[in-house]
């Protein structure tokens, strides 16, 4: 069995093959000539729902690309067996027609093969998603299709489509991949870009996904204080000598509590047969139990993760017999981030390590992130299913420059190289229009599927494909903000303020000049102009929320003011673009109406001259 290649090599093979049109005709696989189809698509009648959907996607996209009508049939059709016919064999059943046979074993749940043999092109893979991912890889890397966002795609026009031999085999290193950005949750987009996370709106035809029962912070959903505290205060955290449910946790050494939690969890799993993972995880706060038993374990283990993991292991053992296909997921988050000294996760336990304390303009290899990096390395030594909860937006200000693009590639690669099996990239998940949301959603999906990809090349590819002639100016703006945060040397957190050092008046004004050039390059293309104007909103946002301060800075420095002199005019311009983009949120839990209150407050203050 051949060793799976890194997908970067797979892409190079497929792309080089697609460009090799000068090869002798006898060596070409011909799909279409002059707008006429020359190949048929074959999929077995008993193929899985996802395999049939893959065949439909290949048929539909080839029709759009070539301007031809392609026929889809099954292996029993005489046309599928006729000599001299180019055949695209989709799925394991159809792949059996290939001569010589193609080995599709050893591909896990999502690995695939794309291979030409004679006049056959095999597009096949593992169940449930492998064939679907093979189809999308072929359409991307050989045909040239791109799905930037659910609303923006690139479908090339190639009336004559032929290529030299293809031979690719790939198994993704990450079993769980979620680019948790608002538009990236769309089911069709997620399938095409090979995401499979809990929040992705994927149906069975699109390959399904990993489904959680209770996604995170489930202690109180599983043991509601309103239901249990009165009769069982001992089930909850002992803080300062008193049992409490206020911003607190559970008493993880209480056996009767564990039995009740297991009972409740089993009831939830019976009601959710699609679940493959169940969360048993701490609340989103501190105040872990300080009772004598819990404290003794945490002292012995050198971390509060000790009592947590012993508790979760016991729950996982109780659940396993009835639900052998369900893993129990818990967090290594804030006070439980440091791994325990002795206890080890059971095989059916997932630990999700959270990077919330990191500086997000610096890669994990940087000294600023050493503490998290050390914890990751130590967890990777003891945990067979280590997941990462990573943070890729500013939750306090979705619509604000957040220059973290340079670390995305190095960090995902670091995760994969150190045994991580799943990554949840939390972004701005509540609304359209967050800063560079479309770019981040797409780039992260590509990196999660193949961590060896060059992130900067992916960023450049997106900019060119999405912004067209305006791309050089958007690229210059991104370089400006990333250089500024590096020069400022401040940590870039996921709650950075709008008056962070890197957001100087000089940087903001220079950024606006780049966008003036970008709008000029976009010309009269209204769709492209809207994309450029959405990308400009973060700068307007900072000017609005810091209006009087920045006006005074400009006045003191005798600098030219780059916008209208009236905050209301700038706000109205912001809102026209935001409403066209359907932006509803400017922060986690904060609607766009908040900005109006900011404007009204600024208008009450004396204006700078």
**Cα–Cα distance between 532 and 258 in angstroms, integer?**
54
Mean pLDDT of 433-440: 98
For the chain, how far is it from start to end, CA to CA, in angstroms? 75
Phi/psi at 479 (5° precision): -60, -40
Farthest-apart Cα atoms in the chain, separation: 84
Question: Who's near 397: CB < 8 A, 6+ residues apart?
Answer: 496, 497, 498, 541, 545, 586, 587
Mean pLDDT of 531-538: 98
Instruction: List the one residue out of 177, 217, 221, 223 whose CA is nearest residue 200.
Output: 177
Residue 390, strand partner residues: 425
**Cα–Cα distance between 155 and 176 in angstroms, integer?**
28
Question: Is the distance from CB of 192 to CB of 55 less than 8 angstroms?
Answer: no
* Confidence band, pLDDT 50/70/90 cuts, at residue 269: very high
Burial 401-437, CB ≥16 within 10 A → b, else e: bbbbbbbbbbbbbbbbebbbbbbbbbbbbbbbbbbbb
**Cα–Cα distance between 391 and 375 in angstroms, integer?**
17
Question: Is the distance from CB of 418 to CB of 500 less than 8 angstroms?
Answer: no
CA 421 to chain centre: 14
The first and second tokens of residue 537, run together, are 């909103």
Task: Note the pLDDT of residue 78.
Answer: 86
Task: Note the pLDDT of residue 357.
Answer: 97
Residue % of the chain over a pLDDT of 90: 91
From the CA atom positions of the chain, what is the Rg in Å?
27
* 3-state per-residue secondary structure call for 298-341: HHHHCCCHHHHHHHHHHHHHHHHCCCCCCEEEEEECHHHCCCCC
Instruction: List the one residue out of 252, 260, 255 whose CA is nearest residue 228.
Output: 260
Tokens 């538009």: give the residue: 183
At residue 301, does pLDDT exceed 70?
yes
CB neighbour class for 526 (10 Å; exposed up to 12, middle 13-18, buried from 19):
exposed
Task: Note the pLDDT of residue 104.
Answer: 81
- Does the pTM exceed 0.85? yes
Question: Is the distance from CB of 209 to CB of 200 less than 8 angstroms?
Answer: yes
**Mean pLDDT over all residues of the chain?**
94
Phi/psi at 335 (5° precision): -70, -15
Q: Which helix (H) or strand (E) holds 605?
A: none
Q: How many other CB atoms are there within 10 angstroms of residue 62's CB atom?
A: 25
| Angle CA 22–23–25, to nearest 5 | 105
**Cα–Cα distance between 160 and 182 in angstroms, integer?**
37
Instruction: List the one residue out of 94, 93, 85 whose CA is nearest residue 40.
Output: 85
Domain 7-170: CATH superfamily is: Chitobiase/beta-hexosaminidase domain 2-like (3.30.379.10)
Residue 117, strand partner residues: 120
Tokens 């009508």: give the residue: 69
Task: Note the pLDDT of residue 26.
Answer: 53
At residue 101, does pLDDT exceed 90?
no
pLDDT tens digits, 183-209: 999 999 999 999 999 999 999 999 999
Question: Is the distance from CB of 208 to CB of 454 less than 8 angstroms?
Answer: no
pLDDT tens digits, 121-144: 999 999 999 999 999 999 999 999
N residues, the chain: 609
* Confidence band, pLDDT 50/70/90 cuts, at residue 88: very high
Question: Who's near 385: CB < 8 A, 6+ residues apart?
Answer: 327, 345, 347, 349, 350, 351, 421, 422
**Cα–Cα distance between 290 and 242 in angstroms, integer?**
10
Give me the helices (H) in 178-303, please. Answer: 187-192, 219-222, 225-228, 255-270, 292-301
Question: Is the distance from CB of 319 to CB of 281 less than 8 angstroms?
Answer: no
Residue 88, strand partner residues: 41, 121
pLDDT tens digits, 355-413: 999 999 999 999 999 999 999 999 999 999 999 999 999 999 999 999 999 999 999 99
* Confidence band, pLDDT 50/70/90 cuts, at residue 99: confident
**Cα–Cα distance between 53 and 218 in angstroms, integer?**
35
Q: How many other CB atoms are there within 10 angstroms of residue 123's CB atom?
A: 31
pLDDT tens digits, 224-246: 999 999 999 999 999 999 999 99
pLDDT tens digits, 304-360: 999 999 999 999 999 999 999 999 999 999 999 999 999 999 999 999 999 999 999
The first and second tokens of residue 101, run together, are 């046979």
At residue 116, does pLDDT exceed 60?
yes
Question: Is the distance from CB of 352 to CB of 387 less than 8 angstroms?
Answer: yes
Task: Note the pLDDT of residue 609.
Answer: 54
Task: Note the pLDDT of residue 605.
Answer: 86
Task: Note the pLDDT of residue 22.
Answer: 32
At residue 23, does pLDDT exceed 70?
no
Tokens 């009336």: give the residue: 159
At residue 24, does pLDDT exceed 50?
no
At residue 533, does pLDDT exceed 60?
yes
Instruction: List the one residue out of 120, 192, 211 whose CA is nearest residue 154.
Output: 192
The first and second tokens of residue 40, run together, are 């048929």
Q: Strands 39-42 and 72-73: what pairing?
A: parallel
Task: Note the pLDDT of residue 27.
Answer: 74
Task: Note the pLDDT of residue 102.
Answer: 84
Mean pLDDT of 87-112: 91
At residue 6, does pLDDT exceed 90?
no
Residue 152, strand partner residues: 149
| Angle CA 148–507–495, to nearest 5 | 65
DSSP string, 66-101: HT----EE-TTSHHHH-TT-EEEEESHHHHTTSSS-
Task: Note the pLDDT of residue 471.
Answer: 98
CA distances from 243 to 237, 246, 262, 281, 457 (A): 5, 9, 22, 19, 54
Task: Note the pLDDT of residue 607.
Answer: 62
Domain ranges for the chain: 7-170, 211-350, 468-604
């Amino acid at each position: 069995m051949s060793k799976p290649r890194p997908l970067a090599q797979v892409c190079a093979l497929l792309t080089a093959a697609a460009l090799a049109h000068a090869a002798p005709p006898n060596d070409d696989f011909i799909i279409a000539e002059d707008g006429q189809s020359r190949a048929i698509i074959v999929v077995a009648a008993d193929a899985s729902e996802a395999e049939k959907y893959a065949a439909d996607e290949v048929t539909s996209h080839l029709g759009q690309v070539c301007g031809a009508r392609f026929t889809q049939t099954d292996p029993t059709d005489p046309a599928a067996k006729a000599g001299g016919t180019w055949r695209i064999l989709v799925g394991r059943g159809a792949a059996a027609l290939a001569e010589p046979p193609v080995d599709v074993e050893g591909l896990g749940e999502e690995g695939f093969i794309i291979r030409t043999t004679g006049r056959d092109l095999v597009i096949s893979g593992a169940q449930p998603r492998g064939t679907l991912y093979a189809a999308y890889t072929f359409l991307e890397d050989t045909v040239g299709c791109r799905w930037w966002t659910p609303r923006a795609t690139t479908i090339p026009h190639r009336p004559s489509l032929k290529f030299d031999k293809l031979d690719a085999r790939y198994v993704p290193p990450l079993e769980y991949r979620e680019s948790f950005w608002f538009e990236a949750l769309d089911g069709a987009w997620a399938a095409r870009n090979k995401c499979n996370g809990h929040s992705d709106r994927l149906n069975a035809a699109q390959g399904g996904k990993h489904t959680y029962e209770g996604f995170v912070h489930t202690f109180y959903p599983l043991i509601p204080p309103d239901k249990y505290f009165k009769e069982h205060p001992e089930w909850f955290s002992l803080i300062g000598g008193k049992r409490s449910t206020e911003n607190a946790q559970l008493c993880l050494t209480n056996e009767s509590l564990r039995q009740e939690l297991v009972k409740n969890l089993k009831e939830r799993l019976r009601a959710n047969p699609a679940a493959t993972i169940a969360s048993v995880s701490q609340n989103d706060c501190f105040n872990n139990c300080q009772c004598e038993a819990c404290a003794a374990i945490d002292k012995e283990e050198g971390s509060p993760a000790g009592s947590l993991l012993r508790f979760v292991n016991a729950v996982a053992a109780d659940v396993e017999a009835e639900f052998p296909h369900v893993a129990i997921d818990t967090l290594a988050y804030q006070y439980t981030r440091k791994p325990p000294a002795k206890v080890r996760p059971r095989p059916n336990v997932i630990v999700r390590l959270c990077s919330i304390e990191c500086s997000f303009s610096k890669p994990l290899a940087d000294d600023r992130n050493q503490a998290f990096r050390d914890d990751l390395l130590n967890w990777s030594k003891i945990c067979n299913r280590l997941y990462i909860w990573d943070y890729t937006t500013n939750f306090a200000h979705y619509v604000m420059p957040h220059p973290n693009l340079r670390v995305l590639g190095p960090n995902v690669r670091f995760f994969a190289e150190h045994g991580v099996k799943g990554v949840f990239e939390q972004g701005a998940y509540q609304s359209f229009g967050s800063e560079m949301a479309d770019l981040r959603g797409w780039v992260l999906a590509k990196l999660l599927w193949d961590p060896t990809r060059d992130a900067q090349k992916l960023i450049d590819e997106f900019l060119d494909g999405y912004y067209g002639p305006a791309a050089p100016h958007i690229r210059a703006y991104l370089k400006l903000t990333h250089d500024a945060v590096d020069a400022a040397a401040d940590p870039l957190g996921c709650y950075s303020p709008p008056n962070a050092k890197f957001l100087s008046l000089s940087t903001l004004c220079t950024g606006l000049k780049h966008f003036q050039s970008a709008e000029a390059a976009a010309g009269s293309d209204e769709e492209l102009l809207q994309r450029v104007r959405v990308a400009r909103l973060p700068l307007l946002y900072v000017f609005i929320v810091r209006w009087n301060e920045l006006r005074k800075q400009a006045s003191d420095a005798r600098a030219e003011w780059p916008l209208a002199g009236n905050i209301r005019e700038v706000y109205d311009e912001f809102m026209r673009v935001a409403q066209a983009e359907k932006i509803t949120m400017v922060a986690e839990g904060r609607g766009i109406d908040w900005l109006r209150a900011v404007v009204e407050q600024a208008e009450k203050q004396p204006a700078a001259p």
